[in-house]
Every structure is written in C-alpha cells, then in structure tokens.
Amino acid sequence: MAADDATKSSQAAPEAADKQNDNQPETHHATNGTVTNGSAGEEGNGADESTAAGQPTESVFQLTIKLPHTPGQTQVMVSAQEQIQDIRQSIVDTPHTFQYSCFHLEHQGKRINDFVELSEIPDVISDPVLTLVEDPYTEAQARMHVVRVRELIGAAGDRTDLVLGIDAGTSLCDGVDLTGGNGGKEEESPVSHYDLNAPGTISTLIPQQREAAPKTVKQLSLSAWNPPPYNLRMRGHLLYLQVTTNEGEQHYVTSHVSGFYVNKSTNSKFDPAPRVTPKSASAHSLIGLISQISPSFEAAFTRLQEYNGQRDPLASYQLTNSIPSAPWLVSTTSIQQHQADLTRTQEAFLLAGAENAETLRDWNEELQSTRELPKETVQDRVFRERLTNKLFAEYNEAAIRGACLVARGEVQPLNPTESRDAQIFVYNNVFYSFGADGVGTFASDGGDEAARVATGKDVQGVKAVNQLDIDGLFTPGTVVVDYLGKRVVGQSIVPGIFKQREPGEHQIDYGGVEGKDVIATHEGFAQPFSELSKAMRVKKHGVWDKEGAKHDLEASVETKGLLGTDGRKYVLDLYRVTPLDIAWLEKHRGQDENMENRYPHRMTVLRPELVDSYRITKMREYISKELEKKRAAAKEIESKAAADGETETDKPKPQQQETVDMSNFSFTLNPDVFSGQQPQTDEDKEEWAEDEQQVRAVCEYIPVMSFQNWSMT
C-alpha cells in the first residue's frame, strides 16, 4: 500500500474555482481545508474583510512551481490551508513531473518546511511562485527512488505477496462487455439467458485478460557489485545498479548522492568511475538517465502511460488503505506469466535496508499517539483522521504478513513448551496468539468454538470503542486473520502486559483476572469505564469472586482494564459488551449434551444495533406515556376552568411543540446475567432477577419486532 497516497486530501477545491479553471491543462489538486461560502457573521466575529464581503474564508489560488528541467514549470490549484507535503505529493503524482522524488520547495529563495501550511508562508498569496530544488540523495532515498522508478516504467513485474494474489481477486467495471442495440426488436429481459439455479463460478471474479504492457527496459536491478565498499561510501556512493535497455545494451550505473551516472564497470571488472565522452551519461533522476542511454525509452514510456490511461485509475492501480474481499483469487491462465526478475529477491533490501531496522516500528505508541492528537478544529480532525487511516492501513498489512508466518510455523513461540493452541508469538512488534481455547478460559462456554467467536466479537468491540473516541481510554490495534485453517489474532504490544508484577499484585488492574474467580478494581478506571458503559448501555452492577466478595464494576467482568507502563489506561477483551441471548441458548443449546443439532457454544451475545433498536422502542413508549399524562393534565385544567365559569378573553395562543423531559428515562443492561454469577444477599438476588427479566424482554423483542421493522423497509 502506498503510504504517500494516504496523505492526499479528501476534499476538493470549491466548485467556483473548478469552473474558473476548467480550461487549464494542469492537474487540479485536492485541498485538505474545508472551503465555505458563508456570509458575514457565519464564522468569526465578522472582522475579516473577505468574510464580510461574502467571499470564501479560505483563499483558493493557482500556484506556479518552477522546475529545473523540461517543461520548466507546472501549476496546481491550492488553498491557503494546504500543507506543503500535499503539494509535494501532487508533484510526485503528476505525469510530467514523475522524475522528481528527492527535492524541497523554496519561496523567494527561502526553504519551506514540508509540514507547514501555505498560510504560514509570508507573501505566498501575492507572489504564488515556488521553486523546486533537487536535493542530494541519502541511501534510503536512493533505494526508494529505484523502487518507484521500477514501478513507473513497468519494470517491477509480478510480486510475490503474502497478503494479496497476483491479480488481487477482483472483477472490474471496465471488464463488463455491453452489447449493441437490438435493431428495433422487442427488448428482452437481461436475465432471460441466466440459469438462476446454477451454482456460481469463481472465475467470474477474476479480471479479464488484456494485452501485455509495452516494455520500456529489459531489466533494472541491483548490480552484483552492490553494496559499495567502505572507501567509496565516503565518496558518496550509495548503490550500484544494472540496466539492460530494449536495444540489448547493458549499463552499470552508480547511485551517487548527487544523482545517477553510468560507470565503467563490467560483469568481470569493477570500475565505478564515470564513463568518458561520448558514452558518458548522468542525471539527478534515474528516469532521465535511462532516457539518455536508451533512444527508444521515451517513446516506449509514452506508450506505457497511454496503455495505463486506457483504464480507469481505480481499475489500474491497487486501492490504497484497502484489502480486496477475495485476496486469494488468482487466475492460473493469466497473460501476466511469471517472468525472470532479479530484483524480486532484492526488494526486501530496497524497501528496508541491509539492517532491516527501518521496518521495526512501535505500533502501539504510534496508534495511541495518533489518538492523542488535538481534535478541536476541523483542520485538526481532518489531519488526525487522515493519519489514523494511514497508520491503521500500514499496521493491518504488517500484522497480516506476520499472521501468515505464524500460521505457517515460521515464527518461534515465546512459550515452546505449551500446547500449540496456547503458544504466543511476537513478530515485527506485534503480539500473536491463536483464536482457540488453549488454556481452558472458554471450557464452560464451548471451548475452541467459543474462543473463535470471541475473537471476532472482540474486534467488533474494539471498533465500537474507537468510534466512541473516549478521552483517556485506549485500545490495542487488533487484527484477526483466518489462514490455512487457523485463526490468528494480532495485537499491538501494550506496555506492561508482559511485566512481572510484585507478589500480591494482579496482572490485570480492572475486571476479571483469572476468569471470574479473582476480580480486580482500580479507582482510576471508574471514570473512563463509566463513560464507556453509558455509551454502550451497560449497567453498573455487582459481581462476586470465588470467595463470595462483591465487586461493583462499570462493565462486564470479562472486560479488563490494564494500566500500561506508559501511563495510559487500556481496555481489553471486549467480546462481552452486551448480554447473552438467553432465549436462543435455551432453545438451541440445552443442558443435554446429547441434544441433536446442539449449538456448539454459548458465545451468543446480543448485537449492539439490535439492543439500540429495543432502546429506541422503549424510549418511544416512554415519550408516548409522558405526552398522554401532559395532555390529560391539560384537559383537567381546562375542565376545571370551564366549571368555574372562567373564559379566555385573549386571543388564542399559537400551538407550541410538545416536549418531554428525558432525564427520567434510562435504559441499561447487565451483561453478566446468565453467566454463572451467584448473588449473595436477598437484595442482590432481587436486583439480579430484575436484570434477567429485562434481558429476556430484549431477547423476545429481537426475533419479533426487528424482523417486522426490516420487512417494512
């Protein structure tokens, strides 16, 4: 997934600016600001002159960027709230500026920081001209430039990917053939030739074959002389490349801090010095160098761009931050046959470096730091959501790759003496475990079947908590992968989860520690868990440990709170945020284990959206009753006035909208009923019975009212 693409803005320049520039050949660049056409007083105190005149509060203008090479300059539409890094990305993605990847922008001779907005640059609106200045390469930038150029010129070929198939298992809109007119004949039903009872074929999901793309070079790879020796590294040598042009000529290229040049090396002789005239060639960009040494490159590159332009971009390139619904579908007869590509085995080095240190990231710290970003203004929220989306996409891809390795047995467990289902793993700073009951936690609920379902419910719970966005409450990044018949759960490593506690201290700070036998409470979790429970309609209730001691919890006993060593409060195990569907269990999973077609597990928790539907129904009933009471009271007052002979001499008052005080309405459920809790006192037993009765009412409502409502829509 292209990380840079995720930083593009999702909001376009206003329609007025688009119409004004319809005839411009340049690419219209999306902005990350919100452009409004409000009048004076809609925003601010009206002191701004442009706002008072009814003009947009954000300036949208055409920015000119001077280039060091042909075509000399380019123009993009930007807003004053545009960030420089977005303009950089626009330059990188524009066809006639593909060659630039290592550069900075200057305004009036001063370098601009990539992370500031245009509005922070003095006089940029009155003088909207920036200059692109090529920068020296670092090794990492040179490696990424080679990867990017290989993709742009079509030299990358097919990749071996652990996550996606070669063809990505998708059928695209441009692969649908439309038949011509029927010559005035009576129209025929579009499904008349379909056998609706025939089974579906997977081949319909595979893209149709098309002609092979034009080749621009025969090969572009790292040279056998790579990496440079230490004495030449001090002279600025970064990489050694090997290029075979369409003319059949083989060139050895030195990647230098100043750019790329053709050297004197051969297959048997190492000489990284530049070639002399007339065979010398050098350029800051690798694309520019190849165009110098291969006469047919520019024409072939133009044909390649036209070939790619024949299809919609969504059909030509993989969507960023997304995974196809069927990534395992690959055509065995694809026209893109497996071809020899030396760099396919070198991409790990090109992407991550020799030490592979660039891929080791603290996923948990990145995820939680992103959640702590400010969100007061629209710009803050847009930046926060864009960064969150990009980070989750990168984490998902890394976690999926590690899960595939774990399922194949290529990662050593941290506890090799335990059974296979109980083993845990750490790979690429992601914690992995199997979605099975390896330690007997779900023995009474259905064993492995219950554990498998619980992992899926946990992901849904994490998603719900993330959407609530409660301040001071954090969740680990959680991914569930089904691969090779195994369910693997990947989570970002919470600081302190592996910490050895002092004697008498619990590993968990809030909730059940060892199943339901030991229960921990922590006053620091009362406030955030109270907000969470209020949003999820969870009732504060008591639970009892194995000693019979009562503990008041804001959430289910299965939901745990952990105080990380980084000072953050984490919520774990969110698979029981709603009660069990007891009506379903009593009907399909009785006490008789020999029951025919007995349901395999007890992890039948109510769906949150159905619980909310029931809450809305009860709220409507409450509103109706309150309105009836108010109307009855009003009629009683009128009847008393009529009996006393009082009449209204004033004009009739306009009818006001009826209102109801909702402060007395409350709807919460106890998620721990029917789960083995044993109340001790009569008062607790009475309250517990009321909670059970309320849950039964919800369970009876779901199969009756919900399906009726859906059938009416």
Structure tokens, 336: 């893109």
Is residue 181, in this structure, part of any structural domain at all?
Answer: no
Q: How does pLDDT run across 511-528, given as a tens digit for each residue?
A: 988 777 888 888 889 899
> What is the CATH classification number for the domain harbouring 83?
3.10.20.90
Q: Are residues 89 and 160 in the same domain?
A: no
Percent of the chain scoring above 90 in pLDDT: 42
Q: Are residues 567 and 683 in the same domain?
A: yes
| C-alpha to C-alpha distance for 456 and 482, rounded to whole angstroms | 11
What is the residue range of 20's domain? 4-135
pLDDT of residue 647: 55
Q: How does pLDDT run across 547-578, given as a tens digit for each residue?
A: 888 989 999 999 999 999 999 999 999 998 99
For residue 511, which of 562, 440, 550 has the smallest C-alpha distance? 562
Q: Are residues 145 and 262 in the same domain?
A: yes
| C-alpha to C-alpha distance for 416 and 414, rounded to whole angstroms | 6
Q: How does pLDDT run across 272-307, given as a tens digit for each residue?
A: 999 988 889 999 999 999 999 999 999 999 999 888
Q: Are residues 158 and 244 in the same domain?
A: yes
Least confident of 6-10, 460-464, 621-625: 6-10
Is residue 191, in this structure, part of any structural domain at all?
Answer: no
Is there a contact between 555 and 668 (Cβ–Cβ < 8 Å)? no
Is residue 626, in this structure, part of any structural domain at all?
Answer: yes
Query: Is the pLDDT higher at 321 or at 48?
Result: 321
Percent of the chain scoring above 70 in pLDDT: 78
pLDDT of residue 64: 92
> What is the CATH classification number for the domain harbouring 474?
3.30.200
pLDDT of residue 548: 85
Give Cβ neighbours of residue 417 (< 8 Å, ≥ 6 apart): none
For the chain, the domain total comes to 4
| C-alpha to C-alpha distance for 501 and 344, rounded to whole angstroms | 47
Domain end position, chosen among 305, 334, 359: 359
Mean pLDDT within 418-428: 93
Is there a contact between 297 and 216 (Cβ–Cβ < 8 Å)? yes
Q: Which amino acid is at 495?
A: P
Is residue 544, in this structure, part of any structural domain at all?
Answer: yes
Q: Are residues 390 and 539 in the same domain?
A: no
For residue 16, which of 26, 28, 6 has the smallest C-alpha distance? 28
Domain end position, chosen among 465, 493, 521: 493
User: Mean pLDDT of all residues in the chain?
Assistant: 81
pLDDT of residue 651: 53
Q: Please say if the pLDDT value at position 56 is more than 80.
A: no
pLDDT of residue 546: 85
pLDDT of residue 94: 86
Domain end position, chosen among 493, 525, 542: 493
pLDDT of residue 104: 94
Confidence band for 466, pLDDT divided at 50, 70 and 90: very high
Q: Please say if the pLDDT value at position 325 is more than 70.
A: no
| C-alpha to C-alpha distance for 28 and 44, rounded to whole angstroms | 29
Q: Are residues 56 and 23 in the same domain?
A: yes
Q: How does pLDDT run across 201-230, given as a tens digit for each residue?
A: 766 666 666 777 889 999 999 999 998 999
Which three-class secondary structure state does DSSP give residue 660? coil
Which CA distances in Å does 59 have to 18, 77, 585? 13, 11, 62
Mean pLDDT within 400-415: 92
For residue 601, which of 614, 588, 613 has the smallest C-alpha distance? 588
Q: Are residues 562 and 614 in the same domain?
A: yes
Gyration radius from the chain CA atoms = 33
Q: Is the peptide bond before 71 cis (omega within 30 degrees of 0)?
A: yes
pLDDT of residue 134: 94
Q: Are residues 386 and 340 in the same domain?
A: no
| C-alpha to C-alpha distance for 430 and 492, rounded to whole angstroms | 5
Q: Are residues 91 and 217 in the same domain?
A: no
Is residue 364, in this structure, part of any structural domain at all?
Answer: no
Which CA distances in Å does 43 have to 50, 52, 53, 58? 11, 10, 13, 12
Q: Are residues 408 and 480 in the same domain?
A: yes
Confidence band for 358, pLDDT divided at 50, 70 and 90: low
pLDDT of residue 173: 55
Is residue 419, in this structure, part of any structural domain at all?
Answer: yes
Is residue 177, in this structure, part of any structural domain at all?
Answer: no
DSSP E strands: which ranges in 429-477?
A: 430-434
Is there a contact between 359 and 352 (Cβ–Cβ < 8 Å)? yes
Is there a contact between 378 and 388 (Cβ–Cβ < 8 Å)? no
Q: What share of the chain is helix, strand, coil (3-state, %, to 5)?
A: 35, 15, 50
pLDDT of residue 648: 54
| C-alpha to C-alpha distance for 241 and 227, rounded to whole angstroms | 10
Q: Please say if the pLDDT value at position 46 is more than 50.
A: no
Is there a contact between 479 and 399 (Cβ–Cβ < 8 Å)? yes
Q: Are residues 355 and 433 in the same domain?
A: no
Q: Are residues 314 and 353 in the same domain?
A: yes
Q: Please say if the pLDDT value at position 458 is more than 80.
A: yes
Is residue 145, in this structure, part of any structural domain at all?
Answer: yes
Confidence band for 502, pLDDT divided at 50, 70 and 90: confident
